[in-house]
Structure formats: C-alpha cells, structure tokens
Amino acid sequence: MTAPTGQFGGVVVGVDGSSRAGLAVDWGAAEAVRRGTSLHLVHAFEMVDSLVANDLMSPAEARATGQEICAAAERHALGTHPGLAVTSEVRLARPAATLVEASRHATLVVVGARGRGAVRGQLLGSTSRHLVARAHGPVVVIRHPAGGAGRPVVVGVDRAPRSTAALTFALDDAARRGVAVRAVHSTRRELPGGAKPGRPWPLGLVTEHEVNHLARAVMDLAAQFPAVDVDFHAVHDRPVDALLRYCAGAGLLVVGSRGLAPLASVLRGSVSQGLIGRAHCAVAVVRGPPRV
C-alpha cells in the first residue's frame, strides 16, 4: 500500500535494502506498536550520477528496485509485528530531502546510521547526518541491533530550551518501555574554535548553583511521569564523551538539536552529529515539542 510522504503522521522509516536500514525497520515497527500508530516505509533514489552495474539505471528500473526493497521491508515488519498497519512509498528524489519533508508530519523518522543497500550510491550515513540537521521533528538513528528489555534511556540536558524537548521525549519513551532515565549534564562545553585541547576554559564551567537549578528543573518535569525512575548526573567532561560513557548499556540516547545546517554542524562540533556515528545504542535527536 502506498501513501504520500507529506501526509503521513505515524512512524516513518527510510529504507535502502542495507542491513542497517533493516535494523531501522525493526526499531520503527516496534516503536509504532508502542505508540499505537502505523508504519510508513520510504525509499528514495536520486537519478543523477547513480550507477548500477556500470550502467545508468532507468527511472522504471529504479522505481521497480525501490518497490522490491519496500516490499521486503514490509514483509519483515509484519513478520515480527503481525497486524501492524504498514504503508510504503518510492520516490525518485534525494533521500535526505524526502525524509526531511516526511518529518514535517511524522511522529518520528527512523534511519540507519550508515549502509550501502541494494541500490549502490544511496548512503544512509550521509542521509542521517543531513536529516538530523534539517528535520522538523524527532529523528532516531540506528547503528546496532536493539539490546534486551529493561535498558535505560539516557538524555543529555542543559539550560537551553531544546533540552526540555529532549527530556520530555526521553521521559515519554521510558514510560512506554517501562525503564529508567539517566539525565546527564556536562559541565564543560566543547572547545571553541582556535582553543588548544588540554588548556582550562573557565567560560565553559558551570557553577554549582546552576547545576542544582538544572537538577531541580529536571526533577520537576520528571514528576509528570511518576512511573519513571530518574537519576541526574553532572560531570566535568565534554558532552559527547560524557554521553557516550553514560549510554553504555542503554537502550536509547536522546539529545536536543540546535537545528544547524549540515556543514555548520560539522564545523562547530555538533553534539548530535558526534553521537550518531559513535553511540552503541539508538540515538534520538529531538527538536521542538514531542509528537504523540
């Protein structure tokens, strides 16, 4: 079954036939069941400079291949979650732009961190980074198979407004899974451009009063989710390093997004961009209020 991307409001998964896209289908299908919504599979293929077997793929061939990829992904999702409402869509367009458009109405969008699938040249690695930087709603990036049940949700928190959205998403997700939340705040920012590693950067330090104020804010929001156990951790470390350490054994890592363009995000050392390529669990990047 097909459905236009721009009108879909459930869980959207980008598929390209790769193993990591398959992991994204697993995660997205399970999340759709937890949320009581449907699953929409999207395969997008850009015709420009796309070579298969050293021959230019025709639009008809590209569409047929995409339909096969979506059909296989749909069979897989229904095999593990019978009764799930699944739709699919093939577009001859840029994968990243297609998924960004889908994110306008989707509950969330799920993609693999990297993978070269049945259609060569369509790398979900670059797609995921562009999507994280430009999406209009939550994005979940998958690199590894999901762990066992009971794994906590780790969320990065700070004093920025984006932190509230990330924490709310984490608490809501933990409530659905019946797991705990670890809220982690790093009291040292990333080094600014031109600064030398290893030298103290006093302007990046956060006072004890500010940390206590943040801890109270975290617990105040957590009170809206009484079934979720929440721990607050303040550490003196770079955000990426701190979150990677605390997410060991976690089921999901959640961070807020600054909404930077992809190039600017890389140049400024975006925390979310640094995590999606290194975390050993799924990473959710959240911008704006969570969608339910």
Concatenate the DSSP letters of all residues of 149-169 into one string: TTPPEEEE--SSHHHHHHHHH
Sheet holding 11-14, edge to edge: 86-91, 39-44, 11-14, 108-112, 139-142, 282-286, 252-256, 153-156, 181-186, 230-235
**Tokens 């590894």 sit on residue:** 144
Helices (H), the chain: 19-35, 59-80, 95-102, 124-134, 161-177, 208-222, 239-246, 262-267, 271-276
Cα–Cα dist 92/48, whole Å: 10
State the pLDDT at residue 188: 62
Q: Are strands 153-156 and 86-91 parallel, antiparallel or unpaired?
A: unpaired
Cα–Cα dist 71/55, whole Å: 24
Cα–Cα dist 15/17, whole Å: 6
Could you give the angle at which helices 19-35 and 161-177 cross, rounded to 10 degrees? 80
State the pLDDT at residue 82: 96
Cα–Cα dist 164/41, whole Å: 29
> Do residues 44 and 14 lie in contact, with contact meaning Cβ atoms separated by under 8 Å?
yes
The values of phi and psi at residue 184, to 5°, are -120, 125
Cα–Cα dist 273/132, whole Å: 8
Q: Tell me which residue of 217, 39, 250 sits closest to 148, measured CA to CA.
A: 250
All residues at 6 or more sequence positions from 119 whose CB lies less than 8 Å from its CB, including other chains? 16, 17, 45, 50, 52, 57, 62, 65, 66, 69
Q: Tell me which residue of 143, 114, 165 sits closest to 285, measured CA to CA.
A: 165
In Å, what is the CA distance from 218 to each residue of 174, 207, 209, 214?
Answer: 15, 17, 14, 6
Residues 273-291 have pLDDT tens digits of 889 888 989 999 998 655 6
Q: State which residues of the chain have pLDDT below 70.
A: 1-8, 48-56, 114-125, 188-207, 258-269, 288-292
Cα–Cα dist 144/283, whole Å: 10
The values of phi and psi at residue 201, to 5°, are -130, 85
Residue 116 gets which letter from DSSP? B
All residues at 6 or more sequence positions from 280 whose CB lies less than 8 Å from its CB, including other chains? 143, 144, 247, 248
